[in-house]
Structure 1
Amino acid sequence: MGLLGMIFGLPLAPVKGLIKLGEVIEEQVETQRRDPAAVRRRLEEVERLREQGLITAEDEARAQEEILGQMMG
């Protein structure tokens, strides 16, 4: 059955590869989203936007809550 399975499974190999690639990308996104250095950079960016007057204090607080919420869970 190994040879038959390989013959019939060969056309599905690109699909299986694409699924695996999606899983790897998802894992990397989760890792970066929870990385303390990346979170700090995002928080600093929000603070910079507030200092430049591009967002309000309420927007800054909301963004900070969202960033920290994503990191925690």
Structure 2
Amino acid sequence: MGLISGLFGLPLAPARGVVWVAERLQEEAERQYYDPGTIRRDLQAVAAARDEGSISEEEAAELERELVARLLEGNARRRKGG
């Protein structure tokens, strides 16, 4: 980067920093959202809630479908390398 382009780009530095932080936050949120361990714990919690009767069979089935979809999506993302 040359001196002139560096000087003209300087006012944008805070915005670039904010974008960088936002990207890191998104990456971490997605990592946690698709984490297999977290999903398995959530599946166990759904099973326990169903067993104790605090949620219906239909609610449990819907939650399990969503969690399995997240697990499959997370596996596909890891295979792609992202």
Q: TM-score, normalised by structure 2?
A: 0.73
Mind listing any 5+ residue stretches in structure 2 that lack a counterpart? 74-82
Q: Where do 1:16-27 residues align within 5 Å?
A: 16-27=16-27
Report whether the alignment pairs 1:13 with 2:13: yes
Query: Which 4+ runs in 1 deviate beyond 4 A?
Result: none
Unaligned runs of 5+ in 1: none
**Cα distance in structure 1, aligned partners of 2:47 and 2:14:** 44
Q: Percent identity?
A: 37
Aligned residue pairs, count = 73
Question: What is aligned with 2:62?
Answer: 62
63-72 or 24-33: which moved more?
24-33
Q: Which residue of 2 aligns with 1:52?
A: 52
